[in-house]
Amino acid sequence: MSEAVQIIGAGPAGLTAAINLKRAGIDVVVHEQNKDVGLRFNGDFQGLENWSTNQDAIQFLSSVGVSVNFLCKPYSELAVFTPSGKRHLVKFARPLFYLVERGTTETSLDCGLKKQAIATGVEIVWNSKVDEVKQGNTVVATGPKAADAIAKGIVFSTSHEDAAITFVDDRIAPKAYAYLLINGGKATFATCLFVDFKNERSYFEKAFDRMQKLVQIDVRSPREFGGFVNFFFKPATKGNRFWYVGESAGFQDGLWGFGMRYAMMSGYLAAQSIITGKSYESLVQKNIEKILEVSIADRLIFSLLGNRGYEKALSILDKLEDPIAWLRKWYNPSPLKTAMFQVAKRWYRTRLIDKQCMHMNCDCVWCRHGNQPHGHSMEQMKN
């Protein structure tokens, strides 16, 4: 391959593709619109989920060519508060997730991937916003374009011990959950919404109140963060020279928004497709698409649960010997899930596509979303 592969976006998807291509001897140039990686985030904690497949997330990282040179801490206990205020402590035989940090700090996943890419010899061009690539092989890794779910939260310092706590209640996190993740004196608290985005501030305030009533925690130097996730199904290649990866391809867990694994997996698969000439569509179909379809069917079920359903689900979880195995079953493809997916995809529409905001002195979800200008800016590349 004579020309370098252009990679647009230095998130987990783009950098994983870059690392694998460069290791295989293919030159790549990564264009990142911001002056550094991770500016869409603010030092908030995220979970690298460890329940949807048998493979442990650490093995997964190694299988997609990523080394662990960032904070990646296993959490095997989750406290869940149901709408009645009851606390359920769920213990798992293996880590439920690995906590990682997102943003520009040295220990973040974003910086870790950047260091691995640079050490492999990848060229990254900063402050390079690319809206069109006229020729050559191109990996599009620009992140979400629209909001199917949003999160609003704070990061803060605390003396509370490390913990992972979730709150389910449609009055504070409609059709989703609020979460509190604490590690080494730093904490992230956020509420997620799958509907009713315009009332995000009021949901956040109610969620924060609830959290403070139920958890004895000191909140010091809080800073706001927020964001959105996007899932959809469209062909992941275009014109034999575009490979769409990560959330710009709609690869995102439809159930709860855990998209990092899919981002890195798809970056790896796009690289394999370019290196070996194998069809990316087939690789995606085999490794990603089925599980995403199931997650959209699960979203439909979750949306129907309501507060009574959350209480019931937690009382089931309490009695299980191996809750991870139970969670994994939710991601298993089956004829029933395929049928439900057909219903779910008709019922489910992307909730918010930004059409009107002029983004001046504005507090909308798009404008609060780190330094990234606007999630819909790359729409033209796909259409």
Q: Which residues here bind ligand FAD, judged by CB under 6 A?
A: 8-14, 31-34, 40, 46-47, 49, 129-131, 141-143, 151, 227-229, 246-248, 252, 257-260, 263, 372, 378
Pick 83 or 246: Cβ nearer ligand FAD: 246
| Residue 182 to residues 5, 175, 307, Cα–Cα distance (Å) | 39, 23, 26
Pick 11 or 83: Cβ nearer ligand FAD: 11
The contacts of residue 165 (CB under 8 Å, 6+ apart) are: 78, 79, 80, 81, 179, 180, 181, 211, 215
If DSSP codes are grouped into helix, strand and coil, which group holds residue 151?
Answer: strand
- Give the integer Cα–Cα distance in Å for 152 and 190: 5
CB of 319 to ligand FAD, least distance (A): 27
CB of 12 to ligand FAD, least distance (A): 4
CB of 109 to ligand FAD, least distance (A): 9
- Give the integer Cα–Cα distance in Å for 291 and 309: 23
CB of 349 to ligand FAD, least distance (A): 20
CB of 174 to ligand FAD, least distance (A): 16
Pick 113 or 340: Cβ nearer ligand FAD: 113
- Give the integer Cα–Cα distance in Å for 376 and 372: 11
Long-range contacts made by residues 206-215, C-beta under 8 angstroms, separation at least 24? 206/171, 206/172, 207/167, 207/172, 207/173, 207/178, 208/154, 210/81, 210/167, 210/169, 210/172, 210/178, 211/165, 211/167, 211/178, 211/180, 214/81, 214/85, 214/87, 214/167, 215/160, 215/165, 215/180
CB of 343 to ligand FAD, least distance (A): 25
CB of 337 to ligand FAD, least distance (A): 21
Pick 195 or 316: Cβ nearer ligand FAD: 195
Pick 28 or 260: Cβ nearer ligand FAD: 260
CB of 73 to ligand FAD, least distance (A): 13
Pick 133 or 306: Cβ nearer ligand FAD: 133
If DSSP codes are grouped into helix, strand and coil, which group holds residue 117?
Answer: helix
- Tell the burial category of 7 from Cβ atoms under 10 Å away from its Cβ (0-12, 13-18, 19+): buried
Pick 132 or 321: Cβ nearer ligand FAD: 132
Which amino acid belongs to residue 297?
A: A
- Give the integer Cα–Cα distance in Å for 83 and 100: 28
Pick 210 or 261: Cβ nearer ligand FAD: 261
| Phi–psi pair at 342, nearest 5 degrees | -60, -40
